[in-house]
Amino acid sequence: MKPYVKTKFRNSLLSRYLIIIGFALVLVPILIPVSFAASWGVNRLLFPPAPGTAETVRDYGSGLDLETMWHGEAQALGGKAPQAIDERLRQLKREYPDASLFWVDSAGQTRLQLPERSGLPAKWSAEDAIAYMKRAVNGDPFTIVAFIGSKKSPGNQGFMVFELPRAHMYKSSTERNGDSRFYGLFMFMMFAFFILISYLFFRDIRTRLLRLETGMARTGPNGLPVRIAEGRPDEIGRLEQAFNRMVDELGQSRQREREEEELRKNLIGNLSHDLRTPLTVLGGQLYSFRKEPLSEQGREVLALMEVKIKDLGTLIDHLLSYNLLSSGRYALNPEDRDVLRIVRVSAAAWYPLWEKAGIEADIDLPDEPLIWNVDEQGFRRVLDNLFQNLVRHARSGGYVGISLAERHGKPALVIADRGPGLGAVSPSKGAGLGLQIVDLLLREMNLCRETESTAERGTRTYIFTAAPSPLVK
């Protein structure tokens, strides 16, 4: 395995999501004024202000500011000559061009008016003053009346008046409220945008995971999973890479296994060839001895040697077959076959040998087929080995019985002999490779073998299907 490779932080899903969150957090303080400005802008676009008003309006501050200023001025003018008062008012008029100013002396005489206007009494009586004040309260223009001089001796020097149309004092409050009417909408749109980004982010992850799952579940023609297309090199991308690495390694190991299998098969094939060839030569040489004049004893020895060569050939076959089978290097192809038919064909091949060996064959098989899932070659091999054992070890019984019987509630093939039984000492007894091969082959074909053997009644071998009986060990 390759060592764990850390993904670059900028490639990770976590970092991408953190960027989205961070972006949102940073933008909130910016967002609020921005959406306010946007709201103001949209409001201006949708509801443009009445033309002209904005340009002429001058802001002179609030009414309180003006009052403070005016009373201050009046106090400062206390004790001054009328000319000085005139002078000061002219200056103030220049500062407040939209305002109209006048003053009245202590005798009630109207003095300087800026601008000059009608409607003011030339000589103020008490009634005039009251009527003027009444009119001025909360009216337009906004009016401030201040006594000139100190507050301690009012009326000494008269009073001065400041009038200003209210339009010049403050902006339209209705206009100000309208500026924020789209603010909420903009905030909502911004948040909706972030939610959308988040949703798309997770939807993308989900889509890729689903695609990955589909890709992992797909298998190629060799039964192995196939490689998947690798996407962005983030966490999921790494998962995809790891999966592909695994698929590659699986394929390589399968390949190695195949090569080993091939190597082993070749080795065994060559070994078999190398062992059997000299044996065949030996057999040929022995055979040619027959043409020589030989004593009776010589002929017997020759016959025995021929038998031993045949045995040796069988042993080599068993040894190599066992090697192939036990290492699982031999593939069987089980199919549904009528085993009774295979048994009959096998028995037909063995029959002449039994006749020669003086073994009476009692074959009692039903005509109805018995279908088992077996590999035909493998099953033939099982029967061959069993019959071979029978000829070798149970010849003395002079009997072979092939029949069908019930075993653990299932039909079982029975091969019976009347030999001395398995416990007996047989001159040609070996390591029992033949039977081990039988067992390996039967196991591969999901079949079972049980043997009953007594010295008196011989051996009965049962073959039956292994699964799914719980009685089978």
What distance in Å separates the CA atoms of residue 133 and residue 145, rounded to the nearest whole number? 8
- β-bridge mates for residue 113, sequence order: 102
The alpha carbon of 40 is separated from its chain's Cα centroid by a whole number of angstroms, namely 47
* Choice between 304 and 348, CB closer to other proteins: 348
What CA–CA distance (Å, rounded) separates 126 from 48? 49
Cβ proximity to other proteins: between 159 and 350 the closer is: 350
114 belongs to the binding site for other proteins (CB under 8 A): no
What 3-state class would DSSP assign to 337? strand
| Member of 153, 277, 373, 469 binding other proteins (CB under 8 A) | 277
d(CA 400, CA 362): 6
Specify the length of the chain in residues: 473
Contact segment (CB under 8 A) with other proteins among 15-23, 45-53, 222-230, 262-270 equals 262-270
Long-range contacts formed by 258-266: CB under 8 A, 24+ apart: 261/329, 264/324, 264/327, 264/329, 265/324, 265/329
CA distances for 383 relative to 69, 325, 363, angstroms: 129, 16, 14
Q: Which member of 324, 383, 390, 447 binds other proteins (CB under 8 A)? A: 324
> Looking at beta carbons, which pairs linking 410-414 to residues 24 or more positions away fall under 8 Å?
410/464, 410/465, 410/469, 411/370, 411/464, 412/462, 412/463, 412/464, 413/339, 413/340, 413/343, 413/370, 413/462, 413/463, 413/464, 414/460, 414/461, 414/462, 414/463
Window contacting other proteins (CB under 8 A); options: 23-31, 101-109, 234-242, 277-285: 277-285
Which amino acid belongs to residue 392? R
Judged by CB under 8 A, the stretch of 164-172, 203-211, 264-272, 424-432 that binds other proteins is 264-272
Regarding 402 and contact with other proteins (CB under 8 A), the answer is yes
Of the candidate residues 208, 238, 381, 449, the single one contacting other proteins (CB under 8 A): 381
Choose which of 220, 269, 430, 432 interacts with other proteins (CB under 8 A): 269
With CB under 8 A as the contact rule, the residue among 107, 368, 468, 470 that binds other proteins is 368
Q: Token pair of 149, please?
A: 């001089």
Tell me which stretch binds other proteins (CB under 8 A): 72-80, 133-141, 347-355, 462-470.
Answer: 347-355
Which window, 20-28, 35-43, 72-80, 314-322, contacts other proteins (CB under 8 A)?
A: 314-322
Q: Taking CB under 8 A as the rule, does residue 208 contact other proteins? A: no
Among the residue ranges 124-132, 223-231, 363-371, 461-469, the one whose residues contact other proteins (CB under 8 A) = 363-371
**282 touching other proteins, by CB under 8 A:** yes
78 in Cβ contact with 151 (< 8 Å): no
d(CA 218, CA 181): 57
Among 215, 237, 283, 411, which residue interacts with other proteins (rule: CB under 8 A)?
283
Q: Contact between 377 and other proteins (CB under 8 A)?
A: yes
Among 132, 351, 388, 439, binds other proteins (CB under 8 A): 351
Q: Out of 364, 423, 425, 470, name the contact with other proteins by CB under 8 A.
A: 364
Report if residue 101 touches other proteins, rule: CB under 8 A. Answer: no
* Total number of residues that touch other proteins (CB under 8 A): 49
List the structure tokens of 302.
């020759």
Residue closer to other proteins, measured from CB, 46 or 349: 349
Distance CA 81, CA 111 (A): 12
DSSP string, 17-48: HHHHHHHHHHHHHHHHHHHHHHHHHHHHHHSP
- Per CB under 8 A, residues contacting other proteins are 265, 268-269, 272-273, 276-277, 279-285, 287-288, 306, 309-310, 312-313, 316-317, 320-321, 324-325, 330-331, 341, 344-345, 347-349, 351-352, 361-365, 367-369, 377, 381, 402, 437
